[in-house]
Amino acid sequence: MLPGNDEIGVYYRSASTQIQRIDAIRRSTQLAIEKAIRGGRASDFRKGRRIYAEVHFYFICWHAIHERIKLVKLRSGFTLSRIYRKRRLRLCQYSTARDHLEHYLERLPGGREYSKLKWPQDLGNLIGERYSIGGDQWDVSRKSLRELQAIVRDFTVAVAREARARAADSRR
């Protein structure tokens, strides 16, 4: 058993749950906006504020998978170089998104990271299926979940392939 390998599946399933939650909030917020426009009055958007916590946990899932892939790569002795090189940039991008939200106060005016943001006025927005903060954006739709699924699948296949090759070599 490789350390971290089982947890990758747990975090992928959690990411899937988060996308369902994000979609539900997005739909209910859109309905509230349409109702407010039709009725010509303000509507209650408090439920929509929960989207930020749901997006945050989605980014945490991506980051956790990234960290566990690095752990398996490090502890197993497997090279996994091709798969990691191919997927590293995307994993790092979502880890950066998590970092933005984990250290949110540092991105506010007066914080030590504020001046490093591309667009400091962007303190976190959901724009369609993309979440933005500081001028950077990340997909938080089923498309990004499919990409994460492909990363997990490719990684799992690569680990199995290397394990089989190593077992065959040890029998010789």
For the purposes of burial, counting CB atoms within 10 Å of the CB of 34, is it exposed (0-12), middle (13-18) or buried (19 or more)? exposed
Asked whether the whole model's pTM tops 0.85, one would answer yes
Half-sphere exposure of 30 (CA within 13 A, CB side): 10
Q: Is the pLDDT of residue 48 over 90?
A: no
Confidence of residue 74 (pLDDT cuts 50, 70, 90): confident
Task: Tell me the pLDDT tens digit for each residue of 1-27.
Answer: 455 568 999 999 999 999 999 999 888
pLDDT at position 80, please? 81
Q: Choose from 40-49, 101-110, 143-152 the range with maximum mean pLDDT.
A: 143-152
Helix H or strand E segment including 170: helix 142-171
Could you tell me which residues come within 8 angstroms of residue 8 by beta carbon, excluding any fewer than 6 positions away? 65, 68, 69, 72, 152, 155, 156
* CA angle in degrees (0–180, nearest 5) for 162-165-169: 135
| Domain extent listing, the chain | 5-171
Task: Tell me the pLDDT tens digit for each residue of 81-139.
Answer: 788 889 999 999 999 999 999 999 999 999 999 999 999 899 888 888 999 999 999 99
The type of residue at 115 is S
The SS3 assignment for 14 reads helix
Pair 113, 157: CB distance under 8 Å: no
Percent of the chain topping pLDDT 70: 90
Mean pLDDT score of the chain: 87
* CA angle in degrees (0–180, nearest 5) for 61-32-21: 20
